[in-house]
Amino acid sequence: MSPIASYRRLFSLAGPLYVLVAFVGRLPLAMSQMGTLLLVSGTTGSYGLGGAAAGGLAVANAAGAPVAGGLADRIGQRPVVLAQSLAGGAGLLLLVGLAHGGAAPALVVASAALAGLLMPQVGPLARVRWRPMTRHQGEHQPRLMETAFSYEGAADEASFVMGPALIGVLAVLASPSVALVVAALLLLGFGTAFAVHHTAALTHAHRPAADHTGRLVTATFVVLLGAQLLMGVVFGSVQTGTTVLTTLAGRPGLAGLVHATLGVGSVVAGLAVAGLPARFTVPSRVLVAALGLAVLSTPLLLTDTVPRLFLVVLVLGFVIAPYMISVFRLGERAVPPARIGAAMTLLASVTGLGYAVGSAVAGRIADDHGHSGAFAVTVTAACAAAVLALASQPLLRRGAPSPDVPALHPGTVPG
């Protein structure tokens, strides 16, 4: 089956409404961090407080997402995502009200963290739905699952390009408050629609009644968590270095556009992953993409102009989605079927934590060494990802699904 035919089959199984709802439903999370930063810093006049509120939202979401994912595994996605969408949307509206009402700084930061804690991780949970949706596709299921994870990786990257861009446009045309209210309304509408869509019931419909435990943290899964943590460090340090370089060049407004360029290359590559041959196994893809990260990030150390930065970041983006898609694909098959929701949200959460670590470390180093110091963090994390991928190949290959086996149960190691 060709990649185009795979995408057509996949989207026909899900239906256009589901594709739309699942994509737009993940935008509020991508919008909320920058929206919170702009809102709080604008209403208080303090970038420090704005950063604290945005960071609190991100860390709280990273901490709460695996708990919600595990709960969704136990009782189903519908009640969990519905409650999160309603509560998370209300939390964002509360944050807007407190920021404009002159509330105490600690209360504003706490409300941002509460909103982050309550917001659903739509992208990881959407990944969980594809296996039951493709359950009856026989010999085509492995290719359709590859295509599904390729699409989801590209959709995540696209959302984190579009989300901040949408916040920026709304902030310019109206205000940061309006931008964050729009994010809240999107969550209330599309998050709820994602929760009640009939595919939510599929994730729980074919699960054995007693199969609610199973071991989540295995040696393979720990490696995958480390891989995503390092990817988060790459994201955070690239954004920091980009901000420093564009500011020094007198064009700070270009920082967001440069970072979006990273996402553009990643989206294109992510969609193309579905066309990779089955003999190019998923563990091998992790290794090749990780080596690509190490090689393609190195030119950042020699980059000192904004035009050159655009080019280097665009090229670097072409290995990011293939890396993340392959890691999530292995994660989906490395855990028991009853724990996939927890696994997907946990992988997404450690990416967010890595982002926070990368931003903080790169920012501190950049104070003394400028953008080159920040980009040194990027290169270090990329090289560490390559070493991890190389060292863990035997482990990943033992736990990886065979591409020729049509419907191996998740967590089963092919003989």
Q: What whole-number distance in Å separates Cα of residue 318 and Cα of residue 289?
A: 9
pLDDT above 50 (res 53): yes
pLDDT tens digits, 56-92:
898 899 899 889 998 998 899 999 999 999 999 999 9
pLDDT category at 178 given cuts 50, 70, 90 is very high
- The residue-averaged pLDDT of 17-25 equals 95
- Predicted pLDDT of residue 193: 97
Residue carrying the six token digits 């079927």: 337
One-letter identity of residue 266: S
Per-residue pLDDT tens digits for 322-335: 999 999 989 888 88
Structure tokens that stand for 208 in this block: 């054995």
The alpha carbon torsion through 4, 5, 8, 11 (nearest 10 deg) reads -100
pLDDT the model gives residue 414: 30
Residue, of 202 and 223, whose pLDDT is higher: 223
Strands (E) located in 162-275 = none
The residue ranking higher by pLDDT, 349 or 191, is 191
Q: Tell me if 386 sits within 8 A of 291, measured CB to CB.
A: yes
Query: What is the reported pLDDT for 399?
Result: 61
284 by Cβ neighbours in 10 Å (0-12 / 13-18 / 19+) ranks as: middle
Q: Can you give the pLDDT at residue 45?
A: 82
* CA 364 – CA 349 distance, rounded (Å): 23
Q: Report pLDDT digits (tens) over 238-263.
A: 888 887 888 888 886 677 778 778 88
Q: Which residue has the higher pLDDT, 247 or 25?
A: 25
pLDDT of the residue at 131 = 86
Q: Residue 408: pLDDT above 50?
A: no
Please give the full DSSP string across 246-309, using - where no structure is assigned: HHHTT-GGGHHHHHHHHHHHHHHHHHHGGGS-TTS-HHHHHHHHHHHHHHHHGGGGG--SHHHH
| Consecutive H or E run containing 71 | helix 47-75
Distance (Å, rounded) from C-alpha 189 to C-alpha 172?
Answer: 24
Please choose, from the candidates 358, 332, 127, the residue with its C-alpha nearest in 3D space to the C-alpha of residue 229: 358
Half-sphere exposure (Cβ direction) of 219: Cα atoms closer than 13 Å: 11
Six-digit token pair at 409?
């149960």
Mark 224-249 as b/e (b = at least 16 C-beta within 10 Å): bbbbbbbbbbbbbbbbbbbbbbbeee
Structure confidence at residue 400 as a pLDDT band (50, 70, 90): low
Confidence band, pLDDT 50/70/90 cuts, at residue 415: very low
What's the whole-number mean pLDDT along residues 353-362?
A: 84
> Would you state the pLDDT for residue 99?
93
Report the C-alpha gap between 272 and 168 in whole angstroms.
Answer: 29
Give the Cα separation of 108 and 171 in Å (integer): 19
HSE (side-chain half, CA atoms, 13 Å) at 414? 12
Q: Which amino acid is at 166?
A: L
pLDDT of residue 404: 38
What the block records as the tokens of 378 is 């990027």
Q: State mean pLDDT over 19-46.
A: 88
Tokens 């998923």 correspond to what residue?
282
Residue 248 amino acid letter: L
Would you call 410 helix, strand, or coil by DSSP?
coil
SS3 199: helix
Please identify which residue in the block is written with the tokens 């920012």.
363
pLDDT: which is higher, 378 or 161:
378
pLDDT value, residue 207: 55
Q: What is the CA radius of gyration of the chain?
A: 20
Contact in structure between 54 and 37 (CB atoms under 8 Å): yes
Least confident of 76-80, 170-174, 336-340: 336-340
Per-residue pLDDT, averaged over 307-320, amounts to 94
- For the chain, residues classed under CATH 1.20.1250.20 are 1-206, 214-415
Fold of 214-415: Growth Hormone; Chain: A; (1.20.1250)
Tell me the CB-side half-sphere exposure of residue 337, using CA atoms within 13 A: 19
Domain 1-206, what architecture? Up-down Bundle (1.20)
pLDDT over 70 percentage in the chain: 92
- Of residues 367 and 319, more confidence is placed in 319
Work out the angle between the directed axes of helices 122-133 and 141-173 (0-180°, nearest 10): 150
Q: What percent of the chain clears pLDDT 90, i.e. is strictly above it?
A: 45
pLDDT of residue 156: 87
Task: Give the residue-averaged pLDDT of 256-276.
Answer: 83
List Cβ neighbours of 363 (8 Å cut-off, separation of 6 or more).
240, 374
Residues in the chain: 415
Tokens 């995540």, located at residue: 156
